[in-house]
Amino acid sequence: MTFDAIGIAGSGMTTDRKWLDAISDNLANINTATPTSGNAFQERYVVAQAGPGNGGVSVTGTALGSATGRVVYEPTNPLADAGGYVRYPDIDLAQQMGDLIMAQRGYQANAAVVDRAKEIYQAGIQIGHA
């Protein structure tokens, strides 16, 4: 049972880490301009599902947001079209920051479960030695 807890929490930590990676990628590209003839940076979303067997979770892939983005008038931008417009991703900073906090807290909670399970396992070994 202790090993199950470690495995389940470990799978949660892996999923949270991948979620944090996607969020950091989104935040790093929130101000990435592209020509209006191309696609905007597409926001990344982690797709996860319940793991097989005794639980846990696994990342099954990533989904992408809209490539349309938002068109902004910036005539001094070197990527601007003839009308002075560039394309930016349509990423909501507030949503990303909220997701960042949730992913961080999820990672921390799963790490705490791993630590507690390890302590229980070690205590059980000590009982066996007594």
pLDDT digits (tens, 9 = 90+) for 72-123: 999 999 999 999 999 999 999 999 999 999 999 999 999 999 998 888 878 8
Burial class (CB in 10 A: 0-12, 13-18, 19+), 41: buried
38 vs 130, higher pLDDT: 38
| Length of the chain measured in residues | 130
pLDDT for res 98? 98
Cα→Cα distances 68→37, 38, 60, 71, 87, Å: 10, 9, 25, 8, 8
Question: Which pLDDT band holds residue 2 (cuts at 50, 70, 90)?
Answer: low
Q: Where are the domains of the chain?
A: 2-129
Question: Which pLDDT band holds residue 3 (cuts at 50, 70, 90)?
Answer: low
pTM, full prediction: 0.85
Contact, 114 vs 9, CB < 8 A? yes
The residues, any chain, with a CB within 8 Å of residue 121's CB and separated by 6 or more, are 2, 3
